[in-house]
């Protein structure tokens, strides 16, 4: 666990040489163009998202993930993650999320790795309560502190397409192949955009994916297709995203694992102030009572055994 993304010059000269060509636009025409620009911005999901980047404002998140094993034994792991995300002027600045698992096996050791947990992340630091660390915490301590180089919303059991990242949202929607009515979500009628994006393309645009993978995917991994459906409300904000992809593990116990994630966003503009836990209840790794270890890939471990 310890190991445990010259034109300006020309224009200026022209203005100096030919000042008589400068014209004044009527106020009515200016207002018309301003209104058109505002409408165009309103129709742009990336611009709509960026307008949500206000201090102490955020959105509620609920995610359900189905992990399907196609190895020696067909099994399904169900996970649920819910909580709130907080924005600042430049984007996501904090999150408070609880994760729960429904495992298909009675193995107590592996169950410990997937115990329910709550993680608060802000200012480059994460605080986790519960999970695999719960029984190793010193007396009086409840939260384990870890340092992050970036706030991450993605792990192997969570949504791989973070639609609260403007670059990721824009790049994903650029691969739209079809549109249709998506019904009503969070009190607004939606339009579903669907398509496919590769893992390599996500690595280029998504800070959270770069953090999750650690290094640039190559070969077949880079071309791994991630299929998706994004539900956009009439205000162009994301209300739901469903994505899926399949990983293959080659070896004596080759297996394929498919991840299907359904993420839903509600209450855009919600007032949010996420704070770190009380310092007296926080411990660091060197304070743990036991040296916690886990398999290199606990997900594949479940499906192989």
> How far apart are the two ends of the chain, measured CA to CA in Å?
21
Tell whether the model's pLDDT for residue 26 goes beyond 60.
Answer: no
Instruction: List pLDDT tens digits, range 195-210.
Output: 999 999 999 999 989 9
- Number of Cβ within 10 Å of residue 300's Cβ equals 21
Instruction: List pLDDT tens digits, range 114-158.
Output: 788 899 999 889 999 988 788 889 999 999 998 865 555 556 567
Which whole number is the average pLDDT over 220-243? 96
The 3-state DSSP class for residue 303 equals helix
| Structural domains present in the chain | 44-304 (2.50.20.20)
Instruction: List pLDDT tens digits, range 270-292.
Output: 999 999 999 999 999 888 877 65
What pLDDT was estimated at residue 296?
54
Tell whether the model's pLDDT for residue 111 goes beyond 80.
Answer: no
Tell whether the model's pLDDT for residue 9 goes beyond 60.
Answer: no
CB 79 within 8 A of CB 263: no
Which whole number is the average pLDDT over 232-237? 97
CA distance 305 to 291: 24
Tell whether the model's pLDDT for residue 294 goes beyond 60.
Answer: no
What pLDDT was estimated at residue 29?
42
Which whole number is the average pLDDT over 214-224? 91
The pTM assigned to this predicted structure is 0.79
What pLDDT was estimated at residue 40?
44
Q: What is the DSSP string of 110-177?
A: HHHHT--EEEEEETTEEEEEEGGGGGGSPTT--EEEEE-SS-----TTS-SS-TTSHHHHHHHHTTEE
What pLDDT was estimated at residue 265?
98
- Radius of gyration of the chain from its Cα atoms, rounded to whole angstroms: 23
Half-sphere exposure of 87 (CA within 13 A, CB side): 20
Q: Considering the chain, what percentage of its residues have pLDDT values greater than 90? A: 53
What pLDDT was estimated at residue 140?
92
Confidence at 68, pLDDT banded by 50, 70, 90: confident
Tell whether the model's pLDDT for residue 252 goes beyond 50.
Answer: no
What pLDDT was estimated at residue 7?
32
What pLDDT was estimated at residue 249?
62
What pLDDT was estimated at residue 107?
60
Assign 3-state DSSP to the chain and report helix, strand, coil percentages, each to 5. 30, 40, 35
Confidence at 225, pLDDT banded by 50, 70, 90: very high
Which whole number is the average pLDDT over 63-78? 76
Tell whether the model's pLDDT for residue 45 goes beyond 70.
Answer: yes
Confidence at 232, pLDDT banded by 50, 70, 90: very high
Average pLDDT, the chain: 79
CB 58 within 8 A of CB 86: yes
Tell whether the model's pLDDT for residue 234 goes beyond 70.
Answer: yes
The 3-state DSSP class for residue 263 equals strand
């Amino acid at each position: 666990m310890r190991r445990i993304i010259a034109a300006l010059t020309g224009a200026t000269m022209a203005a100096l040489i030919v000042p008589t060509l400068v014209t004044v636009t009527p106020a009515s025409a200016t207002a018309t163009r301003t209104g058109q620009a505002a409408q165009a911005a309103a129709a742009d999901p990336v611009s709509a998202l960026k307008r949500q980047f206000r201090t102490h404002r955020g959105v509620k998140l609920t995610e359900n993930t189905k992990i399907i094993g196609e190895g020696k034994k067909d099994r399904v792991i169900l996970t649920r993650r819910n909580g709130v995300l907080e924005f600042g002027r430049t984007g996501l600045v904090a999150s408070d999320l609880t994760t729960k698992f429904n495992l298909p096996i009675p193995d107590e050791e592996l169950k410990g790795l997937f115990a329910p947990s709550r993680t608060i992340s802000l200012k480059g630091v994460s605080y986790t309560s519960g999970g695999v660390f719960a029984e190793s915490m010193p007396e009086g301590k409840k939260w384990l502190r870890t340092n992050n180089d970036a706030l991450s919303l993605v792990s192997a059991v969570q949504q791989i397409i973070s639609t609260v990242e403007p670059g990721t949202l824009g790049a994903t929607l650029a691969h739209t192949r079809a549109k249709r009515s998506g019904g009503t979500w969070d009190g607004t009628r939606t339009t579903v955009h669907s398509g496919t994006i590769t893992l390599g393309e996500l690595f280029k645009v998504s800070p959270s994916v770069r953090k999750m993978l650690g290094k640039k995917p190559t070969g077949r991994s880079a071309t791994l297709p991630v299929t998706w459906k994004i539900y956009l409300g009439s205000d162009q904000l994301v209300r739901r995203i469903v994505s899926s992809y399949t990983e293959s593990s080659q070896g004596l116990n080759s297996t394929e694992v498919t991840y299907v994630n359904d993420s839903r966003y509600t209450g855009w503009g919600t007032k949010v102030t996420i704070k770190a836990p009380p310092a007296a209840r926080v411990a660091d790794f060197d304070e743990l009572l036991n040296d916690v270890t886990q398999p290199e890939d606990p997900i594949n471990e479940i499906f192989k055994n």
